[in-house]
Amino acid sequence: MRVLIVPGVPALRPEYASIEDPLAALRRAVLAGREWLGDGRLVTANGSAKRTEKAPGHLDDRAEAFDAALGAALRAGDLAALSRIDVALADELWADVGELVALGSLEGGAVSEVQVDYDEAPYGVQYWVVRWVCAS
């Protein structure tokens, strides 16, 4: 089974592109991942939205460590770590992780391949585009 993890943000829509487009690389990564995915599982999630003073939720000193741990779990395909995400902290940091927590209980629970196509925090919001191949 293939799993594609992408941010669920309206800014990915082509009509939001502009001359100075800080999300162009993210948009390309999502489109490439979508082509790779085929008919498999699409998961929308993002890290904290409080990485900088100019972020939507302003700066929260806990955001960087939260995102680092979440990013490590995504890069490792660590389903157990995803199932243990502190959902209350995620809510406080404006992170959208509900579908990632659900992935933690994925039947057959083994990720055999991981590819990270995008790992940046434009606008002070942590976004990833990650491809997983899982045993099912």
Write down the pTM of the prediction: 0.86
Query: Which pLDDT value is given to residue 8?
Result: 84
107 pLDDT band (50/70/90 cuts)? Answer: low
Residue 37 — φ and ψ, nearest 5°? -65, -40
CB proximity list for 99: less than 8 A, separation 6 or greater: 43, 44, 45
d(CA 18, CA 110): 40
Query: Which pLDDT value is given to residue 64?
Result: 97
18 pLDDT band (50/70/90 cuts)? Answer: low
Pairing of strands 110-120, 127-135: antiparallel
Task: Indicate the domain borders of the chain.
Answer: 2-135
84 close to 104: Cβ distance less than 8 angstroms: yes
Residue 96 DSSP code: B
Average pLDDT rounded to a whole number, residues 96-110: 82
Is 80 exceeded by the pLDDT of residue 40? no
Query: Which pLDDT value is given to residue 108?
Result: 64
